[in-house]
Chains A and B, each alone.
Chain A
Amino acid sequence: MDVIYILWLRQMKRYIRSRSRVLGAIGQPILFLLALGYGLGSVYKRAGQGNFLEFLVPGIIVQTILFSGVFWGIQILFDKRFGFLKEMLVAPVSRFRVLLGNALGGATISFLQGIFVLVISIILGFRPYNWALLPLSLLIILTLCLALTSFGAGLASIVEDFQGFQGINNFIIFPLYFLSGALYPLTNVPTFLRILSEINPLTYCVDAMRYTMINQTHFGITKDLVVIALTVVVCVAFAVNRFNRIQA
């Protein structure tokens, strides 16, 4: 417990001390909210779909967690390149605990950023349709944070350098994001897009968030929650498996 705590604490200290990182990581989603929410809002309204900003908020929260979680994986890459990983790997502590401590730190950071975005949305005028569902929203956010930081840690354990991570970003993260329905509704999309979205676990996360916040759902909350649960299990298993194979 002590070990996990100190590694978690290290992540938190790093985060709190780098203010540019805090600002940078919430700047992007806010830009999306403002530019898309207000920019495309009128088009969306004219199409008879209601308030686009409201529609966008759950998707942007998922986006924040996705990018923050996966980019947190870069931390592991940094540790690998600049040595601190070695210090952790030769210590008389199992790799699982090393991973857990660090990943929980990363997940906490993602969670905080997701909450920042939610708070800012509320300041911008967003209101969840039912406050009683807020705990469920938070639970989904938390689970998602754990899943996506694990995913990031697993990816970082595989790649060797920052260029490799850039490739992953372009070929895995962005497609996952754009195909998740975070920016547009899945009703009436072309079949190929629908199929791609339906095999993307993030779609179900966005859908679940929408259910709890604006009472819209495409798949139904039960199916969403099942997919989210499976996703977190697979991601954690992936991270543990890959991290165990690192040979320094």
Chain B
Amino acid sequence: MVKTYGDVKAVRDISFAVNAGEIFAFLGPNGAGKSTTISMLTTMLRPTKGKLYLDGHDVEAEQDLARKSFGIVFQDPALEEELTAYENMQIHAVLYGIPKSEQKTRIEELLRLVDLWERKDSFVKTYSGGMRRRLEIARGLLHHPKILFLDEPTLGLDTQTRNLLWDYVKKLSDTEGMTIFFTTHYLDEAEAVADRIAIIDHGKIVADGTAQQLTSQTKTKSLEEAYLKLTGKEVRDETSLSNNGLNVRTARRNQRLR
């Protein structure tokens, strides 16, 4: 698929498949095209060119089926802070058409899973960052999705919560056969959790394989070295010369204003 904003190319002709039940890590520097790709996969953005399939459903032609097939934990929290955790879960249940008779038990089951049942009637605005993340995970799982997207899920979390989160995720993959697609900037997480890793840079996929394959391909010792060899050592400011110095977010905004 391709996504362009005027002259700015956010994603340049990438193509990849994630196998069912796999834990797939999607890595890349800031501004490489990760968020744009996730936005397209999760039906929030339309690709300029190309087709996307989730669980066999064409994301554009069978939008509702595609949407039902995944749950997502966004990079920035997407909770309604003025409502309680339980009310947030309830809205999600209704939006995803979960039958009324099942709503209560499912919400309870998931809030217990992430240890938030005791706090279900507290307003989300009183929650800490870690609690919000856990609530978002519980919410993302409420409609029994086949695929779970996690966009930098451990950003800003303490070590305990991070370990807890990856334990859940691995358990989901093992017991439910759920496909996990995540992005992260912590390479040790990718190395420890992911079955397969793809690295995207300048809108193109530059490598794809297991952590071992990536290190042996690049003749390096660790995933981090492999990653740096593939993407270079310079710091990114989310703009690149190939995009006339324009940042993808600015380009999107400009295009919308036009």
Chain A residues with CB under 8 Å of chain B are: 2-3, 5-7, 10, 13-14, 17-18, 82-93, 160, 247-248
Contact = CB atoms under 8 A, between A and B. Distances in A.
Contact of A6 (B64, B77, B91, B253): B91
A85 B78 CA distance: 7
Interface string B41-71: 0111110000000000000000111011000
* Number of chain B interface residues as a range: 20 to 34
A93 B95 contact: yes
Contact of B95 (A3, A13, A17, A248): A3
Contact of B83 (A13, A85, A89, A160): A13
Nearest to B43: A90
A127 to B, nearest CB: 39
Interface string B83-114: 10001001110111100000000000000000
B170 interface: no
Nearest to A84: B80
A5 B100 CA distance: 14
A14 B82 contact: yes
A83 B83 contact: no
B96 A91 contact: yes
Given A82-B77, A92-B96, 12 more contacts: A3-B94, A10-B80, A10-B83, A17-B82, A86-B78, A87-B139, A90-B42, A90-B43, A90-B67, A92-B65, A92-B95, A93-B95
Top 6 A-B residue pairs of the complex, sorted by shortest distance between their CB atoms: A83-B78, A91-B95, A92-B67, A92-B64, A6-B94, A248-B44
A85 B63 CA distance: 17
B72 interface: yes
B39 A84 contact: no
Contacts of A82: 76-77, 81
Contacts of B81: 82
A232 B36 CA distance: 36
Contacts of A17: 82
A91 B67 contact: yes
Given A6-B90, A13-B83, A83 B44 contact: no
A240 B252 CA distance: 21
B79 interface: yes
B74 interface: yes
Contacts of B91: 6-7, 10, 87
Contacts of B139: 87
B77 to A, nearest CB: 6
Contact of B87 (A13, A18, A88, A248): A13
Nearest to A90: B42
B68 A92 contact: yes
Nearest to A87: B78
Residue picked from A5, A18, A89, most chain B C-beta under 10 Å: A89
A89 B82 contact: no
Given A91-B96, A247-B45, A14 B252 contact: no
Interface string B236-258: 00000000000000001100100
Contacts of A14: 80, 82-83
15 contacts: A6-B91, A10-B87, A14-B82, A83-B74, A83-B78, A84-B80, A87-B74, A89-B44, A91-B67, A92-B65, A92-B96, A160-B256, A247-B252, A247-B256, A248-B39
B252 A92 contact: no
A18 B83 CA distance: 11
Interface string B102-146: 000000000000000000000000000000000000010000000
Contacts of A84: 78-80
A14 B124 CA distance: 13
Contacts of A92: 63-65, 67-68, 95-97
A93 B97 CA distance: 9
A185 to B, nearest CB: 40
Contacts of A93: 95
Contacts of A10: 80, 83, 87, 91
